[in-house]
Chains A and B, each alone.
Chain A
Amino acid sequence: MTTYRVVGPAAFRGHQAGEKFDAELDPEQEKRALARGSIKVVNRKPKDQEKEENDA
């Protein structure tokens, strides 16, 4: 799961500018959104860490 912040003027996936949200975006969609400045990555958990947390 990755945490993003909406930085563009337009809302993204229902989240307003400035808001943070967690999602697993399609890699190509993430690339487009980052390129156009709609969102920024705030925190990306490595897959291993995510699996450990889910197993615990």
Chain B
Amino acid sequence: MPKRVALKDSVEVDSVDLSNFARSVRLTSEHTREDVSGFSATGANEYLAGPTDQSLEVEFYGSYGTGEVHETLYPIHKDRTIVPIAWRPDQTTPASATNPELRGNVQLYTYGPGGTRGDVDTFPVTFNAADAAGLEFFTTPLP
């Protein structure tokens, strides 16, 4: 598997392709670490993996046109809607073993666009996994 420069990523929120309005994406998937240490000769701690918290952070360009970033994200946040999200490294080819697609249902708890004079308008958005299926990588395209 070659190294890559992130250029062609695909980011879909509620089936809307917002790839061109996004410039970075980062998955966080973390199990809590539960201490189940008992007395032992070594005194070493023992852990089990607990519940999983997952989120996808995307940095978007602020855009307020029809069907663009604000019009897609704000109603989802305002109405507390659970929507599908998808991210894969290469938008020019379908999901495969070498182009795995992250999918899942998410909610948007925080929404905070803004702007600074003279700066490109960008803001981070964190999509939190919203159901038991979580966020998972798939190696086949959606039917």
Contacts and interface: CB of A to CB of B under 8 A. Distances in A.
Interface in B11-59: 12, 14-18, 20-21
Contact of B67 (A9, A28, A29): A9
B72 interface: yes
How would you classify the secondary structure of chain B's contact residues: helix, strand, loop or mixed?
A: mixed
B15 A37 contact: no
A10 B75 contact: no
B90 interface: no
Contacts, number: 52
A2 to B, nearest CB: 14
Contact of A29 (B20, B66, B68, B83): B83
Interface residues of B, number: 19
B81 interface: yes
A41 B138 CA distance: 30
A36 B68 CA distance: 9
Interface of A: 7-14, 28-29, 32-33, 35-38
Given A9-B65, A9-B66, 7 more contacts: A8-B67, A10-B18, A12-B16, A28-B81, A32-B83, A36-B71, A37-B71
